[in-house]
Amino acid sequence: MKHLQCLNSGLIYRNPAPHVVSRHAFFPSVVEMDNGEMLATFSIGQAFEAVDLSAYIARSQDGGQNWSDPQQLLPAEFMHLHSSCTRLTAFPGGEVVALVTRHDRTEHPYEGLANEENMGFVPVEVLLLRSQDYGATWSEPQVVEPPLEGPSFELCAPIIELRDGRWVWPTSTWRGWDGYEPNGMKMVAFVSHDKGQTWPDYLDVMSDEKREKIYWESKIIELSGGALLAVAWVYDEAFGQDLTNHYSLSHDGGQTWTAPACTGLQGQTMAIMELEDSRILSIYRRMDVPGLWANISHLKGDTWVNGEALPLWGVKDSNLLDKGDGNMVHDFNELKFGAPCLLRQADGVVFIAFWCYEKLVSNIRWFKLQVA
């Protein structure tokens, strides 16, 4: 019996005049609010790591079928020689929070985000913007003071609110442009006890004592039974190769975590959701075969068990299967799709968004998935 069915697909954004101007879109984040409307943020710029890559926001009033023209989220003057990326979280009553990473490009305006010599990252400032009217207007950016030194941080997950009221933001520390990494490159989660006003604590989630394995593009969800489930893409820097996606569990609110273990899924940019019967839906950029895939799994105790898989996009294009040259910075430059996000809509359908190149233009595509 099949439990996954793709219903339809469309676009949140595509450059309407690619023959005139270079505008590519990447890194979507989508929420459905309690008034029935949806918001999507994504970054638009000339290229994947362009200095002018800036966060934009669009709205849908028909369940994600059609979207408004995107509007820039941060003032243009605020973004001079800075690029940005955003993740959204919606709360009841019209409150929406946008977490933004602002990448300082002033010292390296003609280079990408990462240093080819040591995989160090440009300086990153973490910002938080709030809306109390369903995303119609936004507060001035609030600077988030990190609870540990990165010195840079990755943005691949939104803030989640736990049942005990804490706000948690999964991220990964990233070494600075000069290679400085006081805490290694590991998966952590910032913690706020006052709805994002301050972030005094953090959780150590996944790390490698030898500092050889890096845990990237991490996500955390709170399961119905109370445990926290974390997943991440794992890169073995010592050998220059991707490993399978790993997961870890916490049964004490994030204070301790099980040792990172293999999911059996060979991929990157993994997004997860718990279904009503405690199964786990994963959407990920697969690395052993081409394309974006959906997978249903379940936890047997603390053991991850895989079930049905469904290809969503790009499975017939062998050019999407990047083998890489052993230099991860080069591999980043050649990515052609990724960064999926997912949410359960009010009608029970799963809405998925990701970025992908189609006809030489990177756009934001969505899928609707029925899960039985």
Location of structure tokens 């840079």? 152
∠ CA 163-169-172, nearest 5°, is: 140
Cα(367)–Cα(319) distance, integer angstroms: 22
Please, how many CA atoms are within 13 Å of residue 254, restricted to the half-sphere of its CB? 23
- CATH assignment of the domain containing 269: 2.120.10.10
Q: What is the pLDDT of residue 75?
A: 84
Q: What is the pLDDT of residue 79?
A: 84
Burial call 221-243: b when 16+ CB within 10 Å, e when fewer: bbeeeebbbbbbbbbeeeeeebb
Number of domains composing the chain: 1
Cα(97)–Cα(233) distance, integer angstroms: 25
What residues in the chain have per-residue pLDDT under 50? none
pTM value is 0.95
Alpha carbon distances (Å) from 4 to 35, 47, 281, 296? 28, 34, 10, 8
Question: Domain range holding 130?
Answer: 4-371
Reported as a single tens digit per residue, the pLDDT across 34-88 is: 999 999 999 999 999 999 999 999 999 999 999 999 999 998 888 899 999 999 9
Q: What is the pLDDT of residue 330?
A: 55
Does residue 188 contact residue 211 with C-beta atoms inside 8 Å? Answer: no
Does residue 238 contact residue 186 with C-beta atoms inside 8 Å? Answer: no
User: Sign of torsion, CA 333 335 336 338?
Assistant: negative
10 Å Cβ neighbour count for 24? 22
Rg (CA), the chain: 19
Tokens for 339, please give them: 């960064």
Torsion on CA atoms 113, 44, 361, 66, rounded to nearest 10: 140
Q: What is the pLDDT of residue 317?
A: 75
Tokens for 365, please give them: 């595509």
Burial of 208 from C-beta contacts in 10 A (0-12 / 13-18 / 19+):
middle
Location of structure tokens 């204070």? 255
Cα(88)–Cα(96) distance, integer angstroms: 7
